[in-house]
């Protein structure tokens, strides 16, 4: 785990690096003390680390920090690790999504996203895993990652988004467990609604990583501030988001724990 100082710096980035003899399989990040969105939460294959970044960009003058956690595994435990990513064009389209596919028969162990440009004016929607194969799709379940984002109202610049996945040969215990809106706090309890979803691996299973997203009609008004992995005997993931304006359209959050 690594974290930045708690101060009023407008841009922060931080990396958590795996120790020698281990390889990165996943990770997560969250903002502390203020409600601003993450702009990056992704694996870095070259550095064997999990990286995060965020811009306050004038949204707050309060002190805040950025926290990141890496999940590392012995190289003999998780086989055939591969790190893949794909980006959209950088242009002024107001909403974007991009999908990256794991090679061959590998499955997704963790997901990530990175906003390109925008400097705090882009709202990540999050990541989702490929759905089970159907008659209209040849993509197998949990073999691809889609990352999505949308402009904050009033933004007129260019930007893009990158989707990333850590892929590997799954163990026989591989599964994805999903939760929706574990915690919901709405007015009058708070002027700015927030949502959290908590998903847990089954007892005895190892947590690899997280996927999660904001659903509904409000993503451009909502800050995705927590994309957290908590590596414990019963691995837990948390996705949390908060509305930046009152009276938002209906919305929800979904979190998936990728386990094995």
Ramachandran region, residue 45 (left: φ > 0; alpha: ψ -120 to 50; beta: rest): alpha
Q: What is the pLDDT of residues 43-60, one digit of tens each?
A: 988 889 999 999 997 778
Domain count, the chain: 1
The predicted structure's pLDDT at residue 140: 64
The predicted structure's pLDDT at residue 68: 97
User: What's the whole-number mean pLDDT along residues 251-255?
Assistant: 95
Ramachandran region, residue 118 (left: φ > 0; alpha: ψ -120 to 50; beta: rest): left
Tabulate helix, strand, coil % of the chain (nearest 5). Answer: 0, 60, 40
**Quick check: 137 pLDDT over 50?**
no
The predicted structure's pLDDT at residue 135: 41
**Quick check: 19 pLDDT over 60?**
yes
The enclosing domain of 209 has a CATH number of 2.60.120
> Rounded CA gap, 82 and 254, in Å?
26
> Model confidence at 241, in pLDDT bands (50, 70, 90)?
very high
User: What's the whole-number mean pLDDT along residues 84-100?
Assistant: 97
Range with lowest mean pLDDT among 68-77, 91-100, 150-159 = 68-77
The predicted structure's pLDDT at residue 134: 43
SS3 181: coil
The predicted structure's pLDDT at residue 104: 85
Pairwise pLDDT comparison (119 vs 96), residue with the higher score: 96
> Model confidence at 230, in pLDDT bands (50, 70, 90)?
confident
Q: Which domain, by its residues, includes 125?
A: 2-259
The predicted structure's pLDDT at residue 245: 87
The predicted structure's pLDDT at residue 215: 94
Range with lowest mean pLDDT among 83-97, 108-122, 226-240 = 226-240
The predicted structure's pLDDT at residue 83: 95
**Quick check: 216 pLDDT over 70?**
yes
What is the full DSSP assignment across 90-119?
Answer: -B--SEEEEEEE-STT-EEEEEEEEEEE-T
Nearest to 194 by CA among 8, 10, 31: 31
Chain mean pLDDT for the chain: 91
DSSP β-bridge partners for residue 71: 26
Locate tokens 């595994």: which residue? Answer: 73
User: What's the whole-number mean pLDDT along residues 213-222?
Assistant: 89
**Quick check: 8 pLDDT over 50?**
yes
């Amino acid at each position: 785990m690594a974290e930045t100082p708690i101060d009023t710096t407008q841009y922060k980035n931080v990396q958590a690096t795996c120790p020698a003899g281990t390889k990165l399989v996943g990770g997560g990040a969250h903002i502390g003390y203020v409600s601003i969105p993450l702009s990056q939460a992704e694996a870095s294959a070259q550095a064997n680390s999990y990286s995060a970044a965020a811009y306050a960009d004038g949204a707050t003058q309060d002190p805040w920090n950025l926290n990141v956690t890496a999940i590392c595994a012995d190289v003999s435990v998780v086989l055939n690790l591969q790190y893949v990513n794909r980006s959209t064009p950088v242009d002024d389209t107001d909403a974007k999504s991009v999908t990256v596919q794991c090679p061959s028969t590998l499955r997704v162990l963790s997901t990530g996203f990175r906003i390109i440009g925008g400097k705090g004016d882009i709202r990540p929607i999050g990541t989702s895993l490929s759905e089970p194969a159907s008659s209209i799709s040849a993509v197998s379940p949990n073999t691809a990652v889609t990352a999505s984002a949308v402009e904050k109202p009033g933004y007129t610049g260019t930007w893009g988004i990158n989707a990333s996945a850590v892929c590997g040969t799954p163990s026989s215990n591989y599964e994805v467990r999903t939760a929706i809106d574990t915690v919901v706090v709405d007015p009058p309890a708070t002027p700015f609604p927030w949502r959290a979803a908590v998903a847990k691996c089954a007892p005895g299973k190892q947590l690899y990583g997280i996927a999660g997203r904001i659903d509904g009609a409000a993503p451009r008004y909502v800050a995705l501030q927590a994309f957290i992995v908590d590596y414990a005997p019963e691995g837990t993931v948390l996705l949390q988001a908060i509305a930046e304006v009152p009276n938002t359209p209906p919305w929800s959050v979904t979190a998936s724990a990728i386990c094995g």
